[in-house]
């Protein structure tokens, strides 16, 4: 019995050894199997991969064990439902066979595998893990896909001559087989010795053409064959001076020639900046087959272009005849219109312009129109006339008749660009628009042109809402009509000017008489005050306060008298043209400070606030100009603001704008009526103002200021509203040497 027990123990050990030996052999077989073998636990976490797995996917064992499958291998080609179906089958303890996956290797390469998998059960038939065996079917899938791709591309190439459409389709289809991220077709242009790119997609740049030169693309044409080159081979070609080192370096470059009737007309290229193994000889053969389909499309495209050119040539004569006929009709209409304008008997320029607008609307088949005068100095439009239909369709309350150029939208572009502006879809979005007020007539199509006389824009005419689009013939008709109208109007204007000159001469005599009377008053009044109070100072027993009061009155009257005489002298020099400019450096900050000191007492007496804002830096404040004239300009404008402002403030601003010094003097005074704004700078005009007695002074200050500004090469203008105040602007050139 003892011997029997020993024998049983010995037999058991032998069985264990045999079993262990068998397991070791099985493990080695699994490890060295040509198939890819993966073992996971119940949760899909990898517990084992064999050597074939590591060689195929490029991962080490330690990279994989503990990872969840198939996340690390996901290519992005499958949906979550696809993976759920796979795992659902295994969890039901069913075998999976022939399941095809598209996976991604560590180097990014896409591969196809066929999977057989089963559950691993314990003694109680519970799942403790899964075993999967994969086989590489990449080449088989690629061959199948390649056949389908080639067939699909061939079908499309037979029906289209649009190279761009075909290339986009090829990139998508071919992308199922090879990497087409960087893909282009280059057609060789013999005339320019360059390549045109009807289709080009690239991660690094975007171009439409490039010189042939010593490039890889031109090398394909030179070698008359396809080229598959890796980075090392490309570098070697550069060192041998066979190609130039141009653009971004590719890890691998594949180019296939395009042939039309045995002549290479271009090159079909794919390249990768990342993976050196992205393309193989098999890929080259696929591209060569596809290049034939591209060549067929290129040939068809060239044939259609030749056919189209022939058709265009055949139509050319017909179009020329049609154009000539249209020109004849156009010229007849134009001649008739110009003749009517030249024969028109009018009593005024306004009557002529009203008629011109009527003709413009008729000639261009428009529904509405307008004419605005334009002043290049003030940069303002003044409404002259508009068509009756405008008023019928317009319900804007109190429409403006005066517009600043800077506030105009698209219709002001005729002045800003100094050319006709044509918009045939006015309802579309346009950055140049600035909106229209509620009730404005609806515009659908629009044409406006500047009227230019001696290189100066004098007016703009606009027409709108033609049934069909405006074209260049409308621009020509409108331009010729307005040129002729303006010449006729110049004659009328000349006659009007002669009449006006006569009236002005008479008015000037009257104004000068009034001026002399006013000057007599301005000289006598302060002189009488000086003499009268000087005499009173002789009185004995005068108190100190009275003496001071009389002296202040004498000083004030003397200053008034001196100012009047200075104004008369200055205006006389201006009238005689004897003014000279004596430039030197002045500090504009200091100049403003000095002038404000002069008027400090006046401001205190009227309880007025003064605000000064000068944006010039200290390094910018030195200006090369005539110091005396700048002082006079500023003094006259500030004095004018103080004189006509009873409460509120006076604000002085200065800044640099378009290489000029811009100064503004703003007040909250009585304001100036629009009817008198253009006259305030005229000499002698103050004498004709009805309430002149209320404001002492010669009235020459603004005229002198304007003359001085213009002598210094600048401009002086104003904006004013009665009861709100006035703002005077002037510019002078900003010179630092």
- pLDDT tens profile 643-660: 899 999 999 999 999 889
Distance CA 449, CA 415 (A): 8
Domain presence at residue 177: yes
CB of 117 within 8 A of CB of 133? Answer: yes
Q: Is the pLDDT of residue 688 over 50?
A: no
- pLDDT tens profile 91-105: 888 898 888 888 888
Q: How far is CA 274 from the centre of its chain?
A: 36
| Cis-peptide into 70, omega within 30 deg | yes
Enclosing H/E stretch for 139: helix 138-157
Q: What CATH number is given to the structural domain containing 69? A: 3.30.450.20
Range name among 24-33, 431-440, 608-617, 665-674 with the lowest pLDDT average: 431-440
The DSSP secondary-structure symbol of 230 reads: E
Its domain, for residue 17, covers 1-26
Do 392 and 271 lie in a common domain?
A: no
Q: How confident is the model at residue 514 (pLDDT cuts 50, 70, 90)?
A: low
Q: What CATH number is given to the structural domain containing 249? A: 3.30.450.40
| Cis-peptide into 611, omega within 30 deg | no
Q: Is the pLDDT of residue 162 over 70?
A: yes
User: Averaged over 9-24, what is the pLDDT?
Assistant: 64
Do 349 and 248 lie in a common domain?
A: no
Q: In what order do the strands lie in the sheet with 715-721?
A: 609-614, 649-657, 660-667, 725-733, 715-721
Q: How confident is the model at residue 21 (pLDDT cuts 50, 70, 90)?
A: low
- pLDDT tens profile 32-74: 888 899 999 888 888 999 988 898 888 998 888 888 766 778 8
> What pLDDT score was predicted for residue 296?
74
Percent of the chain whose pLDDT exceeds 70: 79
Percent of the chain whose pLDDT exceeds 90: 25
Q: How confident is the model at residue 663 (pLDDT cuts 50, 70, 90)?
A: very high
The overall average pLDDT reported for the chain is: 81
Range name among 425-429, 430-434, 661-665 with the lowest pLDDT average: 430-434
Domain presence at residue 567: no
Q: What CATH number is given to the structural domain containing 707? A: 3.30.565.10
**Beta-ladder partners of 666:** 651, 727
Range name among 48-52, 336-340, 549-553 with the lowest pLDDT average: 336-340
**Sign of the alpha-carbon torsion through 494, 496, 497, 499:** positive
Domain presence at residue 568: no
Range name among 168-182, 233-247, 723-737 with the lowest pLDDT average: 168-182
Q: Is the pLDDT of residue 557 over 50?
A: yes
> What pLDDT score was predicted for residue 698?
55
Domain presence at residue 178: yes
User: Averaged over 593-601, what is the pLDDT?
Assistant: 87
Do 221 and 282 lie in a common domain?
A: yes
pTM to 2 decimal places: 0.35
Distance CA 59, CA 72 (A): 10
Distance CA 695, CA 675 (A): 20
Do 244 and 359 lie in a common domain?
A: no
Do 212 and 249 lie in a common domain?
A: yes
Per-residue burial over 174-190, b = 16 or more CB atoms within 10 Å of its CB, e = otherwise: beebbbbbbbbbbbbee
At residue 109, the 3 state secondary structure works out as coil
At residue 159, the 3 state secondary structure works out as coil
> What pLDDT score was predicted for residue 714?
93
Give the residue, 153 or 517, on which the prediction is more confident. 153
Do 658 and 694 lie in a common domain?
A: yes
Do 124 and 202 lie in a common domain?
A: no
Task: Give phi and psi for 269, each to the nearest 5.
Answer: -130, 140
Task: Choose one of 484, 500, 528: the last residue of a domain.
Answer: 484
Domain count, the chain: 5
Domain presence at residue 544: no
> What pLDDT score was predicted for residue 536?
73
Domain presence at residue 165: yes
Output the DSSP codes for 536-547: HHTSTT--HHHH
Do 237 and 172 lie in a common domain?
A: yes
Domain presence at residue 48: yes
Residue 157, both tokens: 């190439």
Beta strands in 43-109 (DSSP E): 46-49, 96-104
Do 639 and 667 lie in a common domain?
A: yes
Distance CA 630, CA 628 (A): 6
Q: Is the pLDDT of residue 453 over 50?
A: yes
Do 280 and 189 lie in a common domain?
A: yes
Task: Choose one of 121, 136, 151: the last residue of a domain.
Answer: 136
Q: Is the pLDDT of residue 526 over 50?
A: yes
Do 89 and 202 lie in a common domain?
A: no
Do 147 and 296 lie in a common domain?
A: yes
Distance CA 176, CA 218 (A): 28
Distance CA 535, CA 557 (A): 14
Q: Is the pLDDT of residue 324 over 80?
A: no
Distance CA 60, CA 228 (A): 31
> What pLDDT score was predicted for residue 574?
67
Task: Choose one of 484, 518, 545: the last residue of a domain.
Answer: 484
User: Averaged over 119-133, what is the pLDDT?
Assistant: 89
Domain presence at residue 209: yes
């Amino acid at each position: 019995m003892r011997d029997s027990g020993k024998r049983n123990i010995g037999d058991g050990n032998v069985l264990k050894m045999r079993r262990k030996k068998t397991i070791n052999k099985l493990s080695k077989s699994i490890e060295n199997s040509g198939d890819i073998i993966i073992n996971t636990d119940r949760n899909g976490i990898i517990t084992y991969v064999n050597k074939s797995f590591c060689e195929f996917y490029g991962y080490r064992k330690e990279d994989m064990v503990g990872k969840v499958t198939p996340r690390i291998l996901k290519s992005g080609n499958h949906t979550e439902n696809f993976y759920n179906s796979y795992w659902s089958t295994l969890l039901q303890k069913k075998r999976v066979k022939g399941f095809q996956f598209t996976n991604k290797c560590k180097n990014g390469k896409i591969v196809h595998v066929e999977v057989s998998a089963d559950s691993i059960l314990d003694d109680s038939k519970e799942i403790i893990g899964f075993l999967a065996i994969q086989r590489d079917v990449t080449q088989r899938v690629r061959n199948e896909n390649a056949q389908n791709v080639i067939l699909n591309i061939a079908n499309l190439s037979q029906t289209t001559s649009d190279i761009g459409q075909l290339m986009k389709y090829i990139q998508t289809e071919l992308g199922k087989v090879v990497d087409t991220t960087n893909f282009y077709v280059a057609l060789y242009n013999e005339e320019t010795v360059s390549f045109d790119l009807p289709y080009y997609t690239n991660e690094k740049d975007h171009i439409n053409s490039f010189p042939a030169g010593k490039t890889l693309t031109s090398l394909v044409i030179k070698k008359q064959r396809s080229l598959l080159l890796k980075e090392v081979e490309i570098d070697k070609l550069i060192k041998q001076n066979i190609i130039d080192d141009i653009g971004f370096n590719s890890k691998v470059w594949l180019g296939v020639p395009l042939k039309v009737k045995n002549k290479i007309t271009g090159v079909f290229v794919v390249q990768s900046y990342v993976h050196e193994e992205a393309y193989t000889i098999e890929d080259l053969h696929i591209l060569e087959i596809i290049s034939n389909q591209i060549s067929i499309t290129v040939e068809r495209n060239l044939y259609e272009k030749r056919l189209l050119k022939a058709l265009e040539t055949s139509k050319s004569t017909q179009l020329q005849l049609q154009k000539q006929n249209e020109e004849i009709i156009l010229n007849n209409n134009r001649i008739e219109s110009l003749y009517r304008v030249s024969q028109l008997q009018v009593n005024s320029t306004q009557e002529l312009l009203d008629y011109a607008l009527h003709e413009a609307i008729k000639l261009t088949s428009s529904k509405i129109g307008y004419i605005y005068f334009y002043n290049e100095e003030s940069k303002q439009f003044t409404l002259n006339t508009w068509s009756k239909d405008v008023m019928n369709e317009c319900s804007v309350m109190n429409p403006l008749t005066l517009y600043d150029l800077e506030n105009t939208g698209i219709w002001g572009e005729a002045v800003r660009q100094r050319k006709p502006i044509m918009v045939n879809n006015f309802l579309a979005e346009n950055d140049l628009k600035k909106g229209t007020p509620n009730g404005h007539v609806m515009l659908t199509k629009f044409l406006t042109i500047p009227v230019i006389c001696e290189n100066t824009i004098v007016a703009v005419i606009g027409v709108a809402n033609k049934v069909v689009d405006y074209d260049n013939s409308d621009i020509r008709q409108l331009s010729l009509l307005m040129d002729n109208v303006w010449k006729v109007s110049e004659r009328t204007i000349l006659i009007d000017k002669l009449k006006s000159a006569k009236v002005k001469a008479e008015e000037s005599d009257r104004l000068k008489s009034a001026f002399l009377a006013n000057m007599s008053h301005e000289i006598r009044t302060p002189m009488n005050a000086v003499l009268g109070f000087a005499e009173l100072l002789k009185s004995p027993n005068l108190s100190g306060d009275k003496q001071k009061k009389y002296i202040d009155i004498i000083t004030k009257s003397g200053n008034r008298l001196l100012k009047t005489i200075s104004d008369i002298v200055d205006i006389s020099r201006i009238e005689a043209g004897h003014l000279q400019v004596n430039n030197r450096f002045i500090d504009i900050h200091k100049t403003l400070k000095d002038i404000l000191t002069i008027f400090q007492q006046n401001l205190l007496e009227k309880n007025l606030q003064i605000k000064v804002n000068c944006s010039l830096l200290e390094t910018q404040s030195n200006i090369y100009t005539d110091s005396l004239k700048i002082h006079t300009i500023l003094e006259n404008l500030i004095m004018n603001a103080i004189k006509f402002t009873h409460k509120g403030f006076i604000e002085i601003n200065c800044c640099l704008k378009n290489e000029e010094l811009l100064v503004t003097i703003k007040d909250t005074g009585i304001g100036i009526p629009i009817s008198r704004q253009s006259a305030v700078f005229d000499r002698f005009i103050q004498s004709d103002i009805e309430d002149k007695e209320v404001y002492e002074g010669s009235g020459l200050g603004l005229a002198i200021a304007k003359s001085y500004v213009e002598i210094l090469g600048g401009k002086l203008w104003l904006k004013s509203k009665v009861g709100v105040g006035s703002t005077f602007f002037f510019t002078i050139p900003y010179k630092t040497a």
